[in-house]
């Protein structure tokens, strides 16, 4: 049992509310991103003590199968998702499974820690799976002012990249510029990106509205890391020529493992959490209004 220090709102909540998550049990408590303090430890649980600060993965793996043992617990057949099969974290206290817990080092703030499972750690995992970042490599981030994008810039920078941030909002460009080396404003960004340099990794946090330009932005041998899907009802028709003739690798995914979480926590002192607002549980709808309005930079947090 943990006391929730911070939880976070996510676009996934909105997709869940629209019925895109078929594994959800009803009723279920929403919220899949959390940092908390352990209050009580279940019988037979070892390795965790009351008073310790922890984050939880987005899901609880069984901890015993071949995927779990090899450190790829995201692929566990019997994993259960928080706010899907298991109650989530929009609460004062939450019950969590020990298989999903990762300890938070003292020097990492609650704000930085709560971003790890679904934002910074998820991005870190994607970069790792796409082959890592070479020093000085040119990385382009779409949706750069969003809750994922503004932190994707920082994770890529912390790993040694030069970063181009793409936003559709002129008014948000100065904030993106604070973190990125270059900023492009607009929906057609590939031509301008090519003028800046050879982009060999695109972190696309938007989805169908940007994937075409993302692919066009890439130089040969590049990788597209697809982590955004703002409108799952939209299909995208992939022209294979883009990926075949340019040796493109597409990596797509949605969550972090414990290894990713631990490595990201170590990196987290180099990442400044960008928080659009922190709301209380009874004002959570105001947080969702802010999320839907697009009129914000960074993540919306919940402090119970
Ligand atoms: Zn999330
Ligand atoms: Zn497993």
64 CA distance to ligand 2 middle (Å):
5
pLDDT at residue 1 in the model = 97
pLDDT at residue 212 in the model = 95
pLDDT at residue 233 in the model = 87
Helix (H, G, I), strand (E, B) or coil at 203: strand
Q: What is the pTM of this model?
A: 0.95
pLDDT at residue 33 in the model = 98
Q: Which residues surround ligand 2, an ion (CB under 5 A)?
A: 61-62, 65, 68, 76
The rounded distance, in Å, linking the Cα atoms of 115 and 101 is 14
Q: Which residues surround ligand 1, an ion (CB under 5 A)?
A: 10, 12, 118
**Which residues make Cβ contacts (< 8 Å) with residue 261, sequence separation at least 6?**
55, 57, 102, 116, 117, 121
9 CA distance to ligand 1 middle (Å):
7
71 CA distance to ligand 2 middle (Å):
9
Class of domain 2-115+273-302: alpha beta
Taking the CA of 7 as reference, the closest ligand is: 1
Q: Which fold has domain 121-252?
A: Quinone Oxidoreductase; Chain A, domain 1 (3.90.180)
pLDDT at residue 296 in the model = 84
229 CA distance to ligand 1 middle (Å):
12
Helix (H, G, I), strand (E, B) or coil at 187: coil
pLDDT at residue 230 in the model = 81
79 CA distance to ligand 2 middle (Å):
7
Report the relative pairing of strands 53-56 and 59-60 from DSSP bridges.
unpaired
Angle between helical axes of 258-267 and 149-158 (0-180°, round to 10):
80
Taking the CA of 83 as reference, the closest ligand is: 1
pLDDT at residue 122 in the model = 96
260 CA distance to ligand 1 middle (Å):
15
Q: Indicate the DSSP class of residue 75.
A: G
115 CA distance to ligand 2 middle (Å):
24
Nearest to 100 by CA among 291, 281, 255, 235: 255
Domain ranges of the chain: 2-115+273-302, 121-252
CB 94 within 8 A of CB 4: yes
pLDDT at residue 192 in the model = 98
The rounded distance, in Å, linking the Cα atoms of 46 and 30 is 28
58 CA distance to ligand 1 middle (Å):
8
The rounded distance, in Å, linking the Cα atoms of 37 and 75 is 27
70 CA distance to ligand 2 middle (Å):
9
Per-residue pLDDT of the chain (304 residues; tens, 9 = 90+): 999 999 999 989 998 998 888 889 999 999 999 999 999 999 999 999 999 999 999 999 999 999 999 999 999 999 999 999 999 999 999 999 999 999 999 999 999 999 999 999 999 999 999 999 999 999 999 999 999 999 999 999 999 999 999 999 999 999 999 999 999 999 999 999 999 999 999 999 999 999 999 999 999 999 999 998 888 889 999 989 889 999 999 999 888 999 999 999 999 999 999 999 999 999 999 999 999 887 888 999 999 9
CB 195 within 8 A of CB 127: no
How long, in residues, is the chain? 304
Taking the CA of 56 as reference, the closest ligand is: 1
- φ, ψ of residue 171 to 5 degrees: the values are -70, -25
Taking the CA of 254 as reference, the closest ligand is: 1
């Amino acid at each position: 049992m943990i006391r929730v220090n911070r939880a976070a709102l996510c676009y996934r909540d909105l997709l869940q509310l629209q019925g895109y998550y078929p594994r959800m049990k009803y009723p279920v408590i929403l919220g899949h991103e959390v940092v908390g303090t352990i209050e009580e430890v279940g019988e037979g649980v070892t390795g965790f003590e009351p008073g310790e600060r922890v984050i939880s993965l987005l899901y609880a793996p069984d901890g015993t199968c071949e995927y779990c043992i090899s450190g790829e617990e995201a692929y566990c057949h019997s994993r259960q998702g928080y706010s899907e099969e298991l109650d989530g974290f929009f609460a004062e206290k939450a019950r969590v499974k020990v298989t999903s817990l990762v300890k938070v080092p003292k020097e990492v703030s609650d704000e930085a820690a709560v971003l790890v499972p679904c934002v910074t750690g998820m991005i870190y995992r994607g970069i790792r799976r796409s082959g890592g970042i070479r020093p000085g490599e040119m990385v382009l981030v779409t949706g750069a002012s969003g809750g994922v994008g503004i932190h994707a810039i920082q994770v890529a920078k912390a790993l040694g990249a030069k970063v181009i941030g793409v936003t559709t909002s002129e008014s948000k460009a100065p904030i993106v510029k604070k973190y990125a080396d270059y900023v492009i404003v607009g929906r057609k960004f590939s031509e301008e990106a090519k003028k800046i340099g050879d982009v060999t990794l695109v972190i696309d946090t938007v989805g169908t509205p940007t994937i075409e330009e993302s692919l066009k932005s890439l130089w040969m041998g590049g990788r597209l890391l697809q982590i955004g899907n703002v409108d799952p009802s939209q299909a995208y028709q992939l022209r294979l020529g883009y990926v075949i003739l340019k040796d493109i690798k597409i990596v797509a995914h949605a969550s972090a493992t414990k290894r990713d979480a631990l490595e990201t926590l170590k990196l987290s002192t180099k990442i400044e959490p960008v928080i659009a607002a922190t709301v209380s549980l009874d004002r959570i709808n105001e947080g969702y209004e802010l999320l839907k309005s697009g009129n914000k930079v960074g993540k919306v947090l919940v402090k119970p």
